[in-house]
Amino acid sequence: MRISLFGAVSALLALLVMPAMAEDTYSVGGDVYVGGADATIAESVTNDAFAMGNNVSVSGNVGGDVHSIGNAISISGNVTGNVYAAGNNVTVSGNVFKDASVAGANVTLSGSRVAGNVRAAGQSVTIGANVEGSAVIAAETLHLNAPISGDLNFTGRNIVFGSDAKVDGNVLIRAENEIEVPANVASADRVTYEQTHFGEMAGQAGHIAEQTSQQALPGPIRGFGFLIALFVVGLLYIALFRKNAENAFTAFHGHPWRSGFIGIFSLGAYIGIIPVLFATIIGIPFALIAIAWLVLMAFVGFAAGAYFIARWVFEAFNQNTESMAMKALALAAGLVLIWAIGLLPFVGWILKVFVVFAGLGGIGLAWVQSTARKTAIEAPAEA
Q: Which residues pair with 153 in a beta bridge?
A: 136, 172
What pLDDT, on the 0 to 100 scale, is given for residue 208? 43
Let me know if residue 286 belongs to a domain: yes
Which of 182, 203, 224 terminates a domain? The answer is 203
Let me know if residue 7 belongs to a domain: no
Identify the sign of the CA torsion 65, 254, 368, 377: positive
Let me know if residue 30 belongs to a domain: yes
CB contact at 8 A, 95 and 111: yes
Residues 175 and 268 both lie in one domain: no
Residues 376 and 229 both lie in one domain: yes
In sequence order, the 6+-apart residues with CB closer than 8 A to the CB of 38 are: 23, 53, 54, 55, 57
Residues 165 and 221 both lie in one domain: no
Residues 199 and 324 both lie in one domain: no
Residues 222 and 177 both lie in one domain: no
In sequence order, the 6+-apart residues with CB closer than 8 A to the CB of 157 are: 139, 140, 141, 175, 176, 199, 202, 203
What pLDDT, on the 0 to 100 scale, is given for residue 206? 45
What pLDDT, on the 0 to 100 scale, is given for residue 325? 85
- The radius of gyration of the chain's CA atoms, rounded to the nearest angstrom, is 22
- Domain residues for the domain of 150 are 25-203
What pLDDT, on the 0 to 100 scale, is given for residue 207? 47
What pLDDT, on the 0 to 100 scale, is given for residue 104? 79
Which of 203, 232, 252 terminates a domain? The answer is 203
Angle among Cα 28, 34, 40 to the nearest 5 degrees reads 125
In sequence order, the 6+-apart residues with CB closer than 8 A to the CB of 233 are: 299, 300, 303
Chunked mean pLDDT (size 10), the chain, 383 residues: 38 39 67 78 92 85 89 93 87 96 89 93 91 92 96 93 97 92 96 74 45 43 65 82 81 68 63 58 58 72 85 82 85 83 66 78 73 58 53
What pLDDT, on the 0 to 100 scale, is given for residue 299? 80
What pLDDT, on the 0 to 100 scale, is given for residue 109? 97
Count of CA atoms in the C-beta half-sphere (13 A) of 220: 7
Residues 184 and 233 both lie in one domain: no
Residues 241 and 356 both lie in one domain: yes
H or E element at residue 40: strand 31-41
Residues 252 and 322 both lie in one domain: yes
What pLDDT, on the 0 to 100 scale, is given for residue 173? 94
Coil, helix or strand at residue 65: coil
What pLDDT, on the 0 to 100 scale, is given for residue 247? 82
Cβ neighbourhood burial of 28 (10 Å; 0-12, 13-18, 19+)? exposed
Residues 178 and 240 both lie in one domain: no
Alpha-carbon gap, residue 3 to 18, rounded angstroms: 21
Alpha-carbon gap, residue 351 to 140, rounded angstroms: 30
Alpha-carbon gap, residue 361 to 309, rounded angstroms: 13
Residues 337 and 279 both lie in one domain: yes
Q: How far is CA 208 from CA 28, 306, 339, 351, in A?
A: 34, 24, 20, 19
Let me know if residue 236 belongs to a domain: yes
Let me know if residue 219 belongs to a domain: yes
Let me know if residue 282 belongs to a domain: yes
Coil, helix or strand at residue 380: helix
Residues 161 and 121 both lie in one domain: yes
Let me know if residue 3 belongs to a domain: no
Straight-line distance from the first to the last Cα atom of the chain, in angstroms, rounded to the nearest whole number: 51
Let me know if residue 145 belongs to a domain: yes
What pLDDT, on the 0 to 100 scale, is given for residue 22? 46
Residues 41 and 177 both lie in one domain: yes
Check: pTM over 0.75? Answer yes or no: no
Alpha-carbon gap, residue 153 to 118, rounded angstroms: 10
Count of the separate structural domains present in the chain = 2
Which of 179, 203, 227 terminates a domain? The answer is 203
